[in-house]
Amino acid sequence: MSLCPASSPSPVLPTERAEVALRPVAAGTVRVTEGFWAQRMSTNRQVTLPLGAQQLESAGNLENLRIAAGQQEGLPRGPEFADSDVYKWLEAAAWDYACSRDAASLEQQLQIVRLLEAAQKPDGYLNAVIPLRSGQRYQNLPWSHEHYCAGHLIQAAVALARSAGRTELLEIAVGLADHMVEVFGPEKNRALDGHPVIESALVELYRETGTRAYLELAAWFVQARGAATIRSEIAGPSYFSDRVPVRQAQTVEGHAVRAMYLAAGAADLAVETGDTELLVALEQQYQQMRTTKQYITGGLGSRWEGESFGSPYELPNERAYAETCAAVGAVQWAWRMLLATGKPVYADQIEHILFNGFLAGVSLEGDKFFYVNPLQVSSTTQPEGDRDPAAGRNRWFDCACCPPNLMRMLASLESYMVTTGSAETGGVQLHQYASGTVEAAGFILHIRTDYPWSGQVQVSIEAAPDHSAAISLRIPAWAAGAKVGGQLAAAGQYWTAVRRWRPGQSLQLQLPMRPRLLYADPRVEAARGSVAVARGPLIYAFESCDQPSGSVLENLVLDTAAPITVEHRHDLLGGVSILQMSGFLQRPRGDDPEELYTEKASASPIGGRALLTAIPYYAWANRGPQAMRVWIPATGGPADGR
């Protein structure tokens, strides 16, 4: 029984003319039916989306719309960009509807759409907060985020059209976009929104409607950025990704979420306009980000200050920001780069971010969130404010951008897993592994796997095209020693076979799941002398409650020479494979343990043996606030290599 539509809705649908290496499965179906991600998507549907609707009510976002629609008296509540949370939730509900076909959910969405209809001004402008708060439109675009809100509205509208075939919201979005085309541009109002997202939204609206003016306005917004025209007393051009034009930038910088959204929009633009120079610049920027500014969890943006990227290798653990929204934005960017280039590094990135830095943003129960995703909480951490993860997960935030962002990613997850080849190469590419069915490019494939707990993936062919065609399987860069059908397959590449496939055939992919110790580049000072533990796509974390009783997490040292055992625990944290290994308890360092800095003579670091236990990073902070760490000091290590 399939509740899903014949055609997979997708947030990113390049036009036929777009210069892409790979295409989303638009004329087929990708269904994840069982296992790890199916469970998360189900929780998203049953717990997180309904919770989101409640929170939009209690935090005032929906009330703001009623006020703007003239149905209620009062003043808007929440941040300037409160509307965007509604739109992200709508987008999430719409993508989810593609699978659930839940009529009540659709009706709930359409109720909000009717509110928006009533709130939209005759000229197309739509914002529930700004007119009532400042009286005037577009007076403070660096912070009012009117374009940002419009971008999220457009994305929600596209989602509702593609998943449910309902165009009411699309009409509102078109009205708003037409108004923007009227007002903004090189010969008109040249102001730029402080927070990108409108760029990718306008390209997608162009893809959905064919109206070229939207593409042109997106092109203007991307082109105009980088001339330091966004003025603010409290943030410089870097913060806004406005210091260097996108096509000249060598690195991502400033506010991480803004940088990710801008890059995603620029990638959309590059493929639709055949702008190879822009695409090459984006490849360089992604490479620089991945190799100098990304946490081992996939997290992005190391500074609380300005929610921003820091300098290369500036990756503190406890003060990591690594906003959940930045993980969402990075997956969106990576997906567009994968479509554009076909390079496996982008699919590796999607896997890595989703399983780690992204998924850590929501509790296993789906009812609490992290805004900030650190790599360490110490026993001595003093939490401060509603975003501080040291105080535990939160049901919502004053600035609630992350929860609905997480919802829309989980609801559209199936869209990021499989592609079909461009005209020349054809075939189907499996980028992510999850049990389910793929109908694409003439294939019907059934995938069975217990990934990420097991590295075995079976792909059974129910139907195949009546001509020679390619099946590609991504071999993750971490999977040295992977095999397909018993033959070694190179890691960090696609294993591809082009042949005439027969129904009943199957492929056996075997990814090596031995636990791995990972070391950081020595320039990452926060990881120096330490290791992180990984298995498959998962980065692991040490929570204090799992360590020997009476021990303090910060006093544990991992013995890199000892073996690591794997045990799958169905009873723990919704079912996880835990890793166990031997280490040491550090003794006090010398005569005066109260001294912060001492001469070597007084250091005496290693005490008795201790059994250390690690759980997947994504599952941390589900057993109450406690100490946690990803990087753990280790015997040996790079500093020990005389």
Q: What is the set of active-site residues?
A: 307, 401
* Of 336, 404, 418, 367, nearest in space to 18 by CA: 336
Among the listed residues 38, 518, 545, 562, the single contact to a second copy using CB under 8 A: 518
Of 62-70, 96-104, 141-149, 510-518, the segment contacting a second copy by CB under 8 A is 510-518
Interacting positions 310-329 with a second copy (CB under 8 A): 310-314, 316-319
CB of 265 to a second copy, least distance (A): 23
Residue 404 CB neighbour total at 10 angstroms = 29
Among the listed residues 381, 429, 437, 449, the single contact to a second copy using CB under 8 A: 381
Of 41-49, 403-411, 496-504, 591-599, the segment contacting a second copy by CB under 8 A is 591-599
Of 48-56, 267-275, 378-386, 454-462, the segment contacting a second copy by CB under 8 A is 378-386
Q: Does 481 bind a second copy (CB under 8 A)?
A: no
Nearer to a second copy, 71 or 379 (CB): 379
Are the C-beta atoms of residues 177 and 158 closer than 8 Å to each other?
Answer: no
Of 7-15, 215-223, 603-611, 613-621, the segment contacting a second copy by CB under 8 A is 603-611
**CA pair distance 312, 319, nearest whole angstrom:** 16
Nearer to a second copy, 1 or 597 (CB): 597
Are the C-beta atoms of residues 489 and 342 closer than 8 Å to each other?
Answer: no
Among the listed residues 193, 253, 348, 546, the single contact to a second copy using CB under 8 A: 253
Nearer to a second copy, 548 or 605 (CB): 605
Encode 84-94: b = buried (16+ Cβ within 10 Å), e = exposed: bbbbbbbbbbb
**CA pair distance 192, 183, nearest whole angstrom:** 12
Beta bridge partners, 629, equal 376, 542
Nearer to a second copy, 42 or 555 (CB): 555
Q: Does 638 bind a second copy (CB under 8 A)?
A: yes
Give me 520's structure tokens: 């950081």
**Three-state secondary-structure class, residue 600:** helix
DSSP state letter for 553: G
DSSP state letter for 48: I
Q: Does 516 bind a second copy (CB under 8 A)?
A: yes
CB of 216 to a second copy, least distance (A): 33
Give the chain's length.
642
Among the listed residues 74, 274, 385, 503, the single contact to a second copy using CB under 8 A: 385
Of 49-57, 278-286, 400-408, 514-522, the segment contacting a second copy by CB under 8 A is 514-522
Q: Does 582 bind a second copy (CB under 8 A)?
A: no
Helix axes 324-341, 402-411, angle to 10 degrees: 40
Among the listed residues 502, 504, 596, 624, the single contact to a second copy using CB under 8 A: 596
Separation in Å, CA 177 to CA 124, 191, 230, 547, 548: 8, 16, 22, 55, 59
Q: Does 583 bind a second copy (CB under 8 A)?
A: no
Nearer to a second copy, 115 or 246 (CB): 246
DSSP per-residue letters across 122-142: TTS---SSHHHHHSSTTS-HH
CB of 641 to a second copy, least distance (A): 5
Preceding peptide of 633 cis, ω within 30°: no
**Three-state secondary-structure class, residue 466:** coil
Nearer to a second copy, 123 or 525 (CB): 525
| Burial group, residue 423, by CB count within 10 angstroms (0-12, 13-18, 19+) | exposed
Q: Does 166 bind a second copy (CB under 8 A)?
A: no
Among the listed residues 137, 290, 387, 535, the single contact to a second copy using CB under 8 A: 290
CB of 595 to a second copy, least distance (A): 7
Site track for a second copy across 207-246, x = CB under 8 A: -----------------------------x-x--------
Give me 529's structure tokens: 């002398």
Nearer to a second copy, 118 or 639 (CB): 639
Nearer to a second copy, 241 or 412 (CB): 241
**CA pair distance 162, 177, nearest whole angstrom:** 18
Q: Does 591 bind a second copy (CB under 8 A)?
A: no
Nearer to a second copy, 97 or 519 (CB): 519
Count of residues in contact with a second copy, rule CB under 8 A:
72
Of 65-73, 179-187, 259-267, 626-634, the segment contacting a second copy by CB under 8 A is 626-634
Interacting positions 12-41 with a second copy (CB under 8 A): none
Nearer to a second copy, 2 or 291 (CB): 291
**CA pair distance 36, 164, nearest whole angstrom:** 26
**Three-state secondary-structure class, residue 278:** helix
Among the listed residues 57, 123, 365, 521, the single contact to a second copy using CB under 8 A: 521
DSSP per-residue letters across 138-198: TS-HHHH-HHHHHHHHHHHHHHHHHHH---HHHHHHHHHHHHHHHHBSTTSB----SS--H
CA angle 62, 66, 70 (to 5 degrees): 165
Q: Which residue shows structure tokens 């801008």? A: 262
Among the listed residues 522, 565, 567, 569, the single contact to a second copy using CB under 8 A: 522
In this structure, the strands spanning 435-440 and 29-34 are antiparallel
Nearer to a second copy, 60 or 237 (CB): 237
Among the listed residues 49, 203, 526, 533, the single contact to a second copy using CB under 8 A: 526
CB of 565 to a second copy, least distance (A): 18
Interacting positions 458-477 with a second copy (CB under 8 A): none
CB of 348 to a second copy, least distance (A): 11
Give me 288's structure tokens: 């620089």
In what side-by-side order are the strands of the sheet with 435-440? 29-34, 435-440, 443-449, 456-463, 506-510, 483-484, 487-488
Among the listed residues 303, 343, 408, 535, the single contact to a second copy using CB under 8 A: 303
**CA pair distance 312, 289, nearest whole angstrom:** 8
Interacting positions 551-580 with a second copy (CB under 8 A): 554, 557, 559-560
Interacting positions 388-407 with a second copy (CB under 8 A): none
Among the listed residues 153, 158, 296, 470, the single contact to a second copy using CB under 8 A: 296
Residues with Cβ within 8 Å of residue 238, at least 6 apart in sequence: 253, 254, 308
**Three-state secondary-structure class, residue 464:** coil
Q: Does 378 bind a second copy (CB under 8 A)?
A: yes
Among the listed residues 467, 487, 594, 624, the single contact to a second copy using CB under 8 A: 594
